[in-house]
Amino acid sequence: KRLILVGPPGSGKGTQSPIIKDEYCLCHLATGDMLRVAVAAKTPLGIKAKEAMDKGELVTDDLVVGIIDEAMKKPSCQKGFILDGFPRTVVQAEKLDEMLAKQGNKIDKVLNFAIDDAILEERITGRWIHPSSGRTYHTKFAPPKVSGVDDVTGEPLIQRKDDTPEVLKSRLEAFHRQTEPVIDYYAKKNVLAQLHAEKPPKEVSAEVQKALS
């Protein structure tokens, strides 16, 4: 399957991704995660992306399309993939369609993590991540066994630099202005499935299952 997860910051894309990935053996490509790795390593790509990411704005279409184009060439991504956080503009969606059309492929399903903005601040400010695995925790909704420590490796958890109430405001603004049109784009192609992303993680997983069966 070739899947896209779309939704505002904190809607649960990164939480559901590993579950879908394990079930369908798909490669998981999260542009936000890839960009954060590049920023931390101070690669040319990371240096270009940092300023926009810190402000909660989108990085340029060329940058992210380049990342996805490169990543999709991996043999593990040939049979199917989960795109988490891409495409986020209509231009990105069109470029993706072009890339896939060249291989005779297309998107099978777009999962829309629909949720009210009001719920997202609590989710974002309570989030803690384990950077090297991408595992995500929440102080209230998904606490680690030991506070501040990853369950599997025992390594320390960190908070994302853009997970502040102020930066969340611009991320939400970018979502409504630039990414909501992407949802319409896929609705017109009849590949959109709606999720109730405000529900607890297990119930969202059940909805994902249903949408993909």
Site string for ligand AP5, 138-177 (x = CB under 6 A): x--xx----------------------------x------
Q: How far is the CB of 213 from ligand AP5 (least distance, A)?
A: 20
Total interface residues for ligand AP5 by CB under 6 A = 34
Collapse the DSSP code of 82 into the 3-class scheme (helix H, G, I; strand E, B; otherwise coil) and give the result: strand
Which entry of 21, 55, 109, 160 is annotated as an active-site residue?
Answer: 160
SS (H, E, C) 156-196: ECECCCCCCHHHHHHHHHHHHHHHHHHHHHHHHCCCEEEEE
**DSSP letters along 98-155, please?**
HHHHHTT----EEEEEE--GGGHHHHHHTEEEETTTTEEEETTTB--SSTTB-TTT-P
Is residue 14 close enough to count as binding Zn ion by CB under 5 A? yes
Q: Kind and range of the H or E element at 51? A: helix 44-55
- Closest residue to Zn ion using C-beta atoms: 14
Q: Which residues 6+ apart lie within 8 Å of 80 measured at CB? A: 1, 2, 3, 24, 25, 26, 27
- DSSP code of 197? T
Please report, as residue ranges, which positions from 93 to 122 form the binding site for ligand AP5 (by CB under 6 A).
none
- Work out which of 3, 6, 11, 195 binds ligand AP5, going by CB under 6 A: 11
Is residue 9 close enough to count as binding Zn ion by CB under 5 A? no
Q: Residue 42 and residue 148: Cα distance in Å, rounded?
A: 26
Is residue 4 close enough to count as binding ligand AP5 by CB under 6 A? no
Which entry of 2, 50, 135, 171 is annotated as an active-site residue?
Answer: 171
Active site residues: 13, 88, 127, 160, 171
Interface positions with ligand AP5 (CB under 6 A)? 7, 9-15, 31-32, 35, 52-53, 56-59, 64, 85-86, 88, 92, 123, 126-127, 136-138, 141-142, 171, 200-201, 204
Interface positions with Zn ion (CB under 5 A)? 14
